Amino acid sequence: MNEAVEIEILEKRAAPGGKAALPTLRFLTCGSVDDGKSTLIGRLLYEQQLIHEDQLAALERDSKKHGTVGPDIDFALLVDGLEAEREQGITIDVAYRAFSTGNRAFIVADTPGHEQYTRNMATGASNSDLAVLLIDSRKGLLPQTHRHATIVSLLGIRHVVLAVNKIDLVGYDQAAFEKIAADFAAFAAPLKFVTCVAIPISARFGDNISRSSKRTPWYLGPSLVSYLEAISVEEDRGSLPFRMPVQWVNRPHLDFRGFCGTIASGAIRPGDEVVVALSGKLTRIERIVTADGDLGVARAGESVTLTLADSVDIGRGDVLAAPHARPDVADQFAANLIWMSDEKLAPGRSYLMKIGTRTIPVSVTKVNYRLDVTTLAQHPAETLGLNEVGFCNLAATAPIAFDPYAENRVMGAFILIDRFSNATAGAGLIAFSLRRATNIHPQDLTIVKEARARIKHQRPAVLWFTGLPGAGKSTVANLVEQQLHARGVHTILLDGDNIRHGLNKDLGFSSADRLENIRRVGEVAKLMTEAGLIVLCAFISPFAAERQMVRDILASGEFIEIFVDTPIEQCMARDPKGLYKKALAGEIKDFTGVDQAYEAPEAPELVLGQGDATPQQSSARVIAYLVERSYIERFDDSGDWSI
């Protein structure tokens, strides 16, 4: 089940019988392994009389089989539902539990303590407003304690309860408690928590859980439950500027077009002006539609359908925003990154970034530093390993709309997805845009691409010729442009070698530079399609992810991938520039086709060069493709142009 849906269901179940003084509190338990997180939650449920008789009987039986506390009930087993967790005595997955007292409803996330499952802990923290950080009274602060406190801070949790557990095992010693509290306060000072309260507890015996314990007369503070019942942690998202990522465009018939989504922050009313963050288009709200009828106002957290006064081009992933307080729009930004993959971060490699309702290719261009979670020191690094935290620069293939995570947790959080395994590789928190100017927003232009192309009597497109060195890409592209020029078609040819002598002369041939070479060419090609041109690009572009990156920044149907499929033996025999000879002699490193792989397109729009096709025959096939799909006009019998 989707975690957001699961939490929403639990919130409804958790609602107390009476009227709650404060909204539902979502908190997590975290800390090092064996510090008693699951035991604490089990004890909380037991003391609130939320365990039915049959559950209690089963718990007693399980305690005899799997328990770790002798003849007593092992409350941890109530939460550790996975068989693997019971056998190992640790928490692996994130377990959500809902309960309520007479004063407040709660949803608690029991997260893993073992370093191997830090990614699961981060998942639980991302949905919480407060953290209960447990520490074993006998052990004090451990590396995983520091790690969890740091991640909690990075994820925007500003309220922490330091639960100094197993106080019974140190004889309820006041000095032991005060030393741990002081050590943590010193460590956590740079993390800037708003509240941080230390409470001595025994989850096994219930000391200071629901009520104050007589065995700690020296402790004059509240019990854990009474503190959680009273604390106010609500972020006032309603006072932030309006933001709504578009989840879906609802078009049931020609007379209705609505934009569906959950309001991330702020409020909106019919008649209010909104702007499409990415395009800069300005319009007004006409209606706020819900299943229960139209609303006069919608606020943060509500799922609604908005209809607009004007016909505006909006799709999934766009963000509707307040026009006088717009989100940042940039394709390069800095972010804190929590790495969650066994495979190390590869700077320059293309990942998928999911932010809000949008998914877009992105790469990490630089790891600025790796954060030592035990000392908060910043160390130089070139990559990040599993569970490491770093501050990185990232570049997306197109601009995205966002707010810094510190200002808006919904609009500033993202995940990175491995494009090959589809697994979550990392979680990120945007800090700021990497532009020098922060007041730049897209300008709505009167003359658009379609108007420029119309007067040229053509449809803009990018013809992307890819293939091995020596395959004949430039030769065919040059012939195609000659024929298009003879027909009066407006074109431009971007050739790999020529670009390297001008626009990209500052780039070398490292993996990062090669990626940047293609990214720049893609951006230039996009600008030229805005002018209504047909752009011919002849680049080896050996990796599928690079070509997909360019396809993603163009409009649908504008990227035409043309694979010049010439066998490598034929390319080597041609060797027009003598490069294969040098590569085979070891004079050129990482040469495509020799010591670097070429990823052939899986589904290109055109495949050329197979068999005995000549460059003239190949160019004729490209022209025929453009004519058949109405990118360019054709001659009729009278010699005039027609579509």
- Residue 446 token pair: 């009167």
- Is the pLDDT at 576 greater than 90? The verdict is no
Which string of b and e fits 412-438 if b means at least 16 CB within 10 Å?
bbbbbbbeeeeeebbbbbbbbbeeeee
Residue with tokens 């494009």: 419
Class of domain 449-642: alpha beta
- Residue 550 token pair: 């360019």
Among 369, 359, 363, 362, which Cα is nearest to 346's? 363
CA angle 624, 626, 629 (to 5 degrees): 105
Q: At what angle do helices 118-126 and 143-154 cross, to 10 degrees?
A: 30
Reduced 3-state DSSP string for 7-39 = HHHHHHHHCCCCCCCCCCEEEEEEECCCCCHHH
- The answer to whether 565 and 618 are in contact (CB under 8 A) is no
Give the pLDDT confidence score for residue 61 in this predicted structure.
63
- The answer to whether 311 and 409 are in contact (CB under 8 A) is no
Confirm or reject CATH 3.40.50.2300 for domain 3-230, answering yes or no.
no
In Å, how far are 1, 470, 595 from 573, measured between CA atoms? 57, 9, 17
Mean pLDDT for the chain overall:
83
In Å, how far are 102, 111, 151, 166, 405 from 158, measured between CA atoms? 25, 18, 11, 25, 13
| DSSP letters for 498-550 | HHHHTTTTT--SSHHHHHHHHHHHHHHHHHHHHTT-EEEEE-----HHHHHHH
Reduced 3-state DSSP string for 393-414 = EEEEEEEEEECCCCCCHHHHEE
3-class SS at 450? helix
- The answer to whether 337 and 389 are in contact (CB under 8 A) is yes
Q: How far apart are CA 317 and CA 360, in angstroms?
A: 10
Give the pLDDT confidence score for residue 558 in this predicted structure.
94
Give the pLDDT confidence score for residue 180 in this predicted structure.
96
| DSSP letters for 232-280 | -----GGGSPPEEE--EEEEEETTEEEEEEE--BSEE-TT-EEEETTT-
Helices (H), 114-259: 118-126, 143-154, 174-188, 224-230
Confidence of residue 420 (pLDDT cuts 50, 70, 90): confident
* Residue 279 backbone phi and psi in degrees, to 5: -95, -20
CATH architecture for the domain at 337-433: Beta Barrel (2.40)
Confidence of residue 447 (pLDDT cuts 50, 70, 90): confident
What's the whole-number mean pLDDT along residues 412-421?
88
- The answer to whether 491 and 538 are in contact (CB under 8 A) is no
- Predicted confidence (pLDDT) per residue in 193-231, tens digit: 999 999 999 988 889 999 999 999 999 999 999 999 999
Q: What residue type is 414 in one-letter code?
A: F
The residues that bridge with 395 in the sheet, in sequence order, are 332, 363
3-class SS at 229? helix
Among 477, 451, 299, 329, which Cα is nearest to 396's? 329
Q: Which residues contact 470 (CB under 8 A, 6 or more apart)?
A: 566, 570, 571, 572, 574, 575, 576, 577, 579, 580
- The answer to whether 431 and 336 are in contact (CB under 8 A) is yes
What's the whole-number mean pLDDT along residues 344-357?
89
Name the residue with higher pLDDT: 33 or 86: 33
Given 100, 363, 474, 541, the catalytic residue: 541
The residues that bridge with 491 in the sheet, in sequence order, are 534
Name the residue with higher pLDDT: 252 or 171: 171
Asked if 63 is an active-site residue, the reply is: no
Among 245, 267, 249, 272, which Cα is nearest to 259's? 249
- Is the pLDDT at 469 greater than 80? The verdict is yes
- Predicted confidence (pLDDT) per residue in 166-203, tens digit: 999 999 999 999 999 999 999 999 988 999 999 999 98
Where does the chain hold its CATH 3.40.50.300 domain(s)?
A: 3-230, 449-642
3-class SS at 303? strand
Could you tell me the end-to-end alpha-carbon distance of the chain, in angstroms, rounded to an integer?
51
- Predicted confidence (pLDDT) per residue in 108-165, tens digit: 887 664 555 566 677 767 778 899 999 999 999 988 888 889 888 888 888 999 999 9
Where does the chain hold its CATH 2.40.30.10 domain(s)?
A: 237-321, 337-433
Q: What percent of the chain has pLDDT over 90?
A: 44
Q: Would you identify the CATH topology of the domain 237-321?
A: Elongation Factor Tu (Ef-tu); domain 3 (2.40.30)
Residue with tokens 């408690």: 177
Q: How far apart are CA 631 and CA 643, in angstroms?
A: 9
